[in-house]
Amino acid sequence: MREHTDGVAEYVARGEAMAAAEAERRAIMRTKKFDTIAVHGIYDAQAALANQGSIIEPGFMSSAQHFENSDHMEAALAYLMPAWVYSRIANPTVLYLEETLSLLEGYGFDGDVSTVATASGMAAVHMATNPFLQNPTAQTNIVVSARCYGGTFMLFSQRYGAERGIDVRWVCDPLDLDEWADKIDGDTRFVYGETPSNPSLSVMDIEAVAGIAHEAGLPLIIDSTVATPALLRPLNRGADIVVHSTTKSMTSSGLAIGGAVIARHGITTEIGPDEMRDNFAMYVKLLPFRDHGPGLSPFNALMTISDLRTLRHRMDSMSSSTMQVAQFLEGHDHVDRVAYPGIPSMAGHDIAARTMWLVDGADDYGSEVNRFGHLISFEVKGGVEAARNVFDGFQMIWRATDLGRIKSVATIPAISTHQQQGNAGRELASVPPNLIRLNVGGEHPNDIIADLEQALAVLEGSSLILPIRGSF
Ligand SMILES: *Cc1c(COP(=O)(O)O)cnc(C)c1O
């Protein structure tokens, strides 16, 4: 190691005091309830007094940090003290978000958790997986659930598989534990699942798959975008790393694209240096993330911080509306199949009922309550044409490739989010062409159901009144 001057040593000591104060703030917040953490994060009165007294986290739009002198600069850039340096690497506003996400996703987890925020959910999926693919051999493979987001499917199949020669081993039925176990061998680098999945809403047994992965010395990475930490916290159930598209329910206003990689300290892997094992999120932030440049904009971090405060309340009410929508659709003559983890006819419902609980639900309801999220899919009877007619008939529900919104939004995945992967890829991922994916928003459930009812009425032979297209 290089020698540093006495001046630098002084900054290192100051840095240690700063880190200790940060750790103390974190420890205090870890004793609070989920809603309290979501509202405050680690931004306390002391932090406010250092920021002109602002009670809301300030948006630091500056690209770079000024240093007191060369010693300060040297200590900061050698990563010897807490500093943010340059907004591609770190930024104070982004840090407020990262700290909040670590606390929320680590709620109830007995161990340390760190987060790196990214420019999108896809950047998070990339940053969470790419570090495990260093120095690949001809045998290097990954074991991943085929029931995943279209962008994730393309990253794995095209960027990793076709371009880099990684053997992508798809698990077609994530409920089948033998399929996971059989596909893992000595050249597997990581195990990856998404639960509930977009758009098929498939669930998986995180504990069981984590057990299988860990036995083979591998990390389990879970995309938990659809559940959010308000309903499911995979780290508590054995996962090593959680990825999120914070674009979705976390930023339900729809005002920012973003993502996050959230990891427990001490992940299971034999790949990479000790630092990567000890604190994966910090390792990613300081090295690969710095070099790839997928950092989150501080403006977008602010939008997400703002929406996150009400996450639990929104997930509660929108999930309960979605349950009503599910019951309406299940009873409808023109609907073939409804996919929603909350309904008993859904494969894996028992696992969802065992694991998806509204966090701190007993505070409101007197006892714990199941909540299953606000994403639902249904197949329209009569094939593609019928599905498109229903979709075109929505008068209030927006037609867009989006989810997590406070506004109800629908898409046909086969012609949108899961279009690029082709017929074979969609079959593998279980995305039929007559499937409509619906994000149930914060509107009154009666109005959402009424819009679905009038759109489905297009399929009634007797219906003479056609909805006016695009009237909303
Ligand atoms: C949207 C989504 C992503 C990708 O997130 P972006 O923010 O759009 O990049 C990843 N996983 C899931 C489950 C998603 O729904």
pLDDT, tens digit only, all 472 positions of the chain: 457 788 999 999 999 999 999 999 999 999 999 999 999 999 999 999 999 999 999 999 999 999 999 999 999 999 899 999 999 999 999 999 999 999 999 999 999 999 999 999 999 999 999 999 999 999 999 999 999 999 999 999 999 999 999 999 999 999 999 999 999 999 999 999 999 999 999 999 999 999 999 999 999 999 999 999 999 999 999 999 999 999 999 999 999 999 999 999 999 999 999 999 999 999 999 999 999 999 999 999 999 999 999 999 999 999 999 999 999 999 999 999 999 999 999 999 999 999 999 999 999 999 999 999 999 999 999 999 999 999 999 999 999 999 999 999 999 998 887 788 888 888 887 789 999 999 999 999 999 999 999 999 999 864 444 545 444 4
CA–CA gap between residue 254 and residue 251 (Å, rounded): 6
Ligand 1 atom 1, closest CA:
245
Distance CA 185, CA 197 (A): 25
Q: Which pLDDT score is estimated for 430?
A: 79
∠ CA 139-238-280, rounded to 5°: 65
Kindly state if the Cβ of 223 falls inside 6 Å of ligand 1. Answer: yes
- Tell how far the Cα of 78 is from the centroid of ligand 1, in angstroms: 34
| 194 CB near ligand 1 (under 6 Å) | yes
- Looking at 3.40.640.10, 3.40.250.10, 1.10.1740.10, 1.10.3760.10, the CATH number of the domain 86-308 comes to 3.40.640.10
Cβ–ligand 1 contact at 406 (below 6 Å): no
Residue type, 129: T
Distance between CA atoms of residues 411 and 397, nearest Å: 10
Q: Is 174 in the pocket of ligand 1 (CB under 6 A)?
A: no
CB contact at 8 A, 128 and 261? yes
245 CA distance to ligand 1 middle (Å): 5
The protein residue whose alpha carbon is closest to atom 8 in ligand 1 is 121
Structure tokens at 290: 């710095």
Whether 259 lines ligand 1, by a CB cut-off of 6 Å, is yes
In the chain, where are the structural domains located? 86-308, 311-459
Q: Which fold has domain 311-459?
A: Aspartate Aminotransferase, domain 1 (3.90.1150)
Residues 6 or more apart whose CB falls under 8 angstroms from that of 2 comprise none
Answer whether 151 contacts ligand 1 (Cβ < 6 A): yes
**Other Cβ atoms within 10 Å of 330 Cβ, number:** 15
pLDDT at position 109 is 97
Name the closest-CA residue to atom 6, ligand 1: 121
Q: How far apart are CA 134 and CA 88, in angstroms?
A: 23
Residue 2: predicted pLDDT: 58
Residues 243 and 156: their CA atoms lie apart, in Å, by 15
| Per-residue confidence (pLDDT) for residue 472, from 0 to 100 | 45
What pLDDT score was predicted for residue 462? 44
d(CA 92, CA 424): 45
Counting ligand 1 atoms within 8 A of each CB, the residue from 154, 198, 246, 303 with the most, and so the one to mutate, is 198
Classify residue 327 as left (phi > 0), alpha (psi -120 to 50) or beta. alpha
Q: Is residue 149 in contact with ligand 1, taking CB distance under 6 Å?
A: yes
Question: Cα(149) to centroid of ligand 1, in Å?
Answer: 7
Residue 159 in contact with residue 129, Cβ under 8 Å? no
**Would you say 455 and 395 are in contact if contact means Cβ atoms under 8 Å apart?**
yes
List the residue whose alpha carbon is closest to atom 2 of ligand 1: 245
**Ramachandran sector of residue 316 (left: φ over 0; alpha: ψ -120 to 50; beta: rest):** alpha
- Structural tokens at position 44: 């306390």
Say if CB 301 and CB 97 are below 8 A apart: yes
Q: Please classify residue 103 by burial: count the beta carbons closer than 10 Å to its beta carbon, then call 0-12 exposed, 13-18 middle and 19+ buried.
A: buried
Contacts of 66 (CB under 8 A, 6+ apart): none
Q: What is the atom index within ligand 1 of the atom nearest the CA of 123?
A: 9
Instruction: Look up residue 366 and give its DSSP letter.
Output: S
